[in-house]
Copies of this chain bind each other. A is one copy, B any other.
Amino acid sequence: MDRHPLESLPVETLAEGKFLRLAQRGPWEFVERVNTSGAVVIVAVTLDDKLVLVEQYRVPLARYVIELPAGLVGDIQGQEHEALVTAAERELLEETGFQAARFEELATGPTTAGLADEVVTFLLASGLERRHDGGGDEHEEIVVHEVPLAEITARLRDFEAAGKPVDTKIFTGLYFLAQRR
């Protein structure tokens, strides 16, 4: 693998918060997450072929956003080395109330490689059983939507028409689902 000339330059920290660091290397500014080892995005389909989506207020956009269930890995003190599937199980259950019998890794990659060091792993969750109503941890207020896959395009359009942006990772999840059917 070629080393890039910029790798000889130091990474400078412009600012560091509790969760994010704004950094610069040469002319390039970027953001890094602090104290996490990754992120999981969960493509969860119920036994009656509904895709499980979550709706929550997102400060960066100042809007309620429609997304796949997702969460950070290794961001809880004492669980820094947790497996991806452990984080996926916890986040899916916490956010949506669904417990999955099986998880399968679909793909891992950066989401926005020019902006951030964020790398996410998409996992397929199947064999879902509802344990509770979901809603997230004590800081979250998450609404769960179960959308029939047969109506997904129209239903996503409805969310947008209601002023709720649709995270484009939902379409990534739909690609992997289509591949498996």
Chain A positions near chain B (C-beta within 8 angstroms): 1-2, 4, 6-7, 14-15, 17-20, 22, 24-33, 57-62, 64-65, 67, 70, 107-120, 122, 139, 162-163, 165-169, 171-172, 174-176, 178
Contact = CB atoms under 8 A, between A and B. Distances in A.
- The A contact surface, by secondary structure, is mixed
Copies in the complex: 2
Contacts of A115: 20, 31, 33, 60, 116, 118
A113 B58 contact: yes
B167 A113 contact: yes
Nearest to A71: B114
B17 A165 contact: no
Contact of A57 (B4, B60, B110): B4
Contacts of A30: 20, 59-60
Contacts of A25: 59
A108 B156 CA distance: 11
Given A17-B22, A29-B17, A167 B109 contact: yes
Contacts of A118: 112, 115
29 contacts: A2-B64, A6-B57, A6-B59, A14-B15, A17-B22, A17-B24, A18-B29, A20-B30, A22-B22, A30-B60, A58-B114, A61-B110, A67-B113, A70-B114, A107-B168, A107-B171, A109-B165, A109-B166, A110-B165, A111-B112, A111-B169, A112-B112, A112-B118, A113-B165, A116-B116, A120-B168, A172-B172, A174-B175, A175-B175
